[in-house]
Amino acid sequence: MAGYTRLLYRENLITKQDMKDLDQCAGIRNMAAHGGFEDLSRERAGLMEQQANLLLRKLAELT
C-alpha cells in the first residue's frame, strides 16, 4: 500500500496530507489484522471508517 500511495503522490494525484491519511489507515488495518486489538477502540474504528470513505471517494474521482 505504501508504494501505491507514494506513486499517487509523485504523480500529483493526491496531496501530502492524503498520503499521510492513507498511511495511517494502512497502519490501523495492519494492527487489527495482526491481532493488536488492545490498541483499538470503537471511536478509533469509527474515525477510520469515516476517513476510509473520504479517501475512497477521492480516489474514485481520479478514475
* pLDDT score of 47: 87
Q: Is the pLDDT of residue 63 over 80?
A: no
* pLDDT score of 36: 84
pLDDT tens track for 2-36: 898 999 999 998 999 999 988 988 988 888 899 88
- Find cell 480516489 and name the residue: 59
What's the pTM value of the predicted model, to 2 decimals? 0.75
| Residues near 25 by beta carbon (within 8 Å), at least 6 away in sequence | 48, 51, 52, 55
* pLDDT score of 12: 93
* pLDDT score of 17: 92
* pLDDT score of 11: 93
